[in-house]
Amino acid sequence: MSTPSDIVIIGGGLAAAKTAEALRENGHTGTITIVAAENHLPYERPPISKEYLAGTKTLDDATVHPAEWYRAHDVTLRTGVTATAIDPSAHTVALDDGTSLPYNRLVLATGSTVRRLPGVSADNVLYLRTVEDADAIAAAFGEGRRLVVVGGGWIGLEVAAAARNAGTEVTVLERADVPLGRILGNRVAQVFADLHRAHGVDLRTGVEVDEIVIEGGRATGVRLAGGETIDADAVVVGIGVTPMTELVQSAGLAVDDGVLVDQTLRTSDPDIWAVGDIANHDHPVLGRRIRVEHWATALNQPAAAAASLLGTDTPFTNLPYFFSDQYDLGCEYVGHAAGHEENVVVRGDLGAREFVAFWLDDARHVVAAMNVNVWDVVDAIRPVITERRVVDPARLADPDVPYDEL
Ligand SMILES: Cc1cc2nc3c(=O)[nH]c(=O)nc-3n(C[C@H](O)[C@H](O)[C@H](O)COP(=O)(O)OP(=O)(O)OC[C@H]3O[C@@H](n4cnc5c(N)ncnc54)[C@H](O)[C@@H]3O)c2cc1C
C-alpha cells in the first residue's frame, strides 16, 4: 500500500480528534483535514449529561484538544462545515460550502444522531446530543419546574439525576418493566429503578406514550396510552440514537446498522476507514460484528485505524467498555452480555449499591461485568472475559476469591 499524503477525516467528535492524533503519532507527515459539522473544537459527550449539565464542568473541560494542539500538529480543523457527498472513484469529498477536498485516504467518524419522536415539534421538547442541547435542557431545571423524561435509558436516567439534583420535579416514562432491563437484565436494572425512586423521581415503567400534548407551540404534558396526562414544563426525549450513515450510503459503502468495517476498521472501500459510533466492527475477540455507542470505542479505535491506514494492519481488540454516573452511583461495564442478561452472578450487595455483577453464558464463561461503586477492578476482570475461563458461580460471588484465581 502506498503512503497516503492527504488524509481527510469526516466528523468532529472524539473519534475524529483521536484519529488525527494517532495519525501524527504513527508518523504521518502529509496533510490531515478534519471536516466537522459542529461549531466547536471536538469535545467529549459523556460530561454533557453529567458534570456539564450539573454546571460543574465547562465545554473547555470537555474538549479533546485545545485549539493550539491542532496548530502545533498541523491538523486543519474546519468547524461548522458539513461533508455532503463522497466520490470514491474521484477520491473527493464535497462540502456544504460549495468546495471539495481531495483525499488519498478517508476516515469516517460521523457518529450518531438522536432518534426523534415523529411529527412532534415544540421548542420545549428536547433531545441530548450536543452542548447546545445540554444548555437547553439545563435551562429547564429548577425548583418547582416539572420535567418529563421519555425513555429510561442511560441518557434519560442521567438527565433525570441531574434534574433532580437541581430540584426539578422529574417523571421518567419507560416502556419496559424496568429501565435498562434490556442491557442489564431485570435484577441488576432494578438497582437503578430503586436509585431513582429513592431520589424522588416518579419512575413509571410499563407505560406507553400516546402523545406529547402541545398547546400554542409548547408541550404542556405527555399523555399515556391509558389516557392519563402528566403535566410538564419541558419534555426530554431519550429514545436512542442511530448511526449517521446517509453520507456513506450514497458513496456505495457496505452499510448495515452502521458502516461495515473489517477487524482493522477498514470499510468495503480500500481507501476508507470508519471509527467510533458509526463503525459496525468485525470484532476479533468477540467473534462477531458489534457496533458500540460508547466513549471508550471512540477513544481507542482510532489508534488501530490510523496504524492500519498507514500500512500496519492492526486489529482492534478492546472489549466494549462504558461508564455512567447517577447521583452517588458510579459504574463501569465491560464486555457484552448479548442475550445472557438474566444469567447474572453478584459479588457484593445489590441493596447497598456496592457490587460487581457478572453475566455468564450457558457454558459458564463470563461475557460481561459491571462494577457499581466498587473501583479498580476492570483491569483484573478483562482477562476473565477474554481468556474465556469457565467459572464456578459460587467462587465468582465470593469477594475473597481474587479475580486471577477464578
Ligand atoms: C449526552 C451523552 C452522554 C454520553 N455519556 C456516555 C458515557 O457516560 N459513557 C460512554 O461510554 N458513552 C457515553 N456517550 C456516548 C459517547 O459519547 C459516544 O459513543 C461518542 O461521542 C462517539 O464518538 P464519535 O466521535 O464516534 O461520534 P460523535 O461524538 O457523535 O461525533 C460525530 C461528529 O461528527 C459530526 N458529523 C456528522 N456528520 C457529519 C458530516 N457529514 N460532516 C461533518 N461532520 C459531521 C457530528 O456533528 C458530530 O460532531 C454519551 C453520549 C451522549 C450524547
pLDDT in tens, 95-112: 999 999 999 999 999 999
Report the pLDDT value the prediction gives residue 2, as an integer from 0 to 100: 66
Determine if ligand 1 sits within 6 Å of the CB of residue 245: no
Question: Residue 148's closest CA among 225, 235, 206?
Answer: 235
CA dist 159 and 139 (Å) reads: 12
CA dist 22 and 41 (Å) reads: 17
Q: Which three cell numbers stand for residue 244?
A: 449517521
pLDDT tens per residue across span 254-275:
999 999 999 999 999 999 999 9
Give me ligand 1 centre to Cα 362, in Å.
34
> Do the Cβ atoms of 326 and 376 come closer than 8 Å?
no
Q: Is 338 left (phi over 0), alpha (psi -120 to 50) or beta?
A: left
Element housing 126 (H / E):
strand 125-126
Amino acid identity, position 5: S
Give me ligand 1 centre to Cα 387, in Å.
31
pLDDT(1) > 70? no
Residues 314-325 as b or e (16 or more Cβ within 10 Å = b): bebebbbbbbbb
> Do the Cβ atoms of 176 and 206 come closer than 8 Å?
yes
Report the pLDDT value the prediction gives residue 4, as an integer from 0 to 100: 84
* All domains of the chain in start order, with CATH: 6-113+241-309 (3.50.50.60), 116-237 (3.50.50.60), 328-405 (3.30.390.30)
Residue nearest to ligand 1 atom 20, measured at CA: 295
pLDDT(61) > 90? yes
Determine if ligand 1 sits within 6 Å of the CB of residue 78: no
CA dist 268 and 262 (Å) reads: 8
pLDDT tens per residue across span 113-168:
999 999 999 999 999 999 999 999 999 999 999 999 999 999 999 999 999 999 99
pLDDT(247) > 80? yes
Determine if ligand 1 sits within 6 Å of the CB of residue 320: no
pLDDT tens per residue across span 326-339:
999 999 999 999 89
Give me ligand 1 centre to Cα 81, in Å.
16
Report the pLDDT value the prediction gives residue 250, as an integer from 0 to 100: 86
DSSP conformation letters of 56-91: SS-HHHHBSS-HHHHHHTTEEEEET--EEEEETTTT
Residue with cell 477525516: 9
Residue nearest to ligand 1 atom 52, measured at CA: 45
Give me ligand 1 centre to Cα 230, in Å.
31
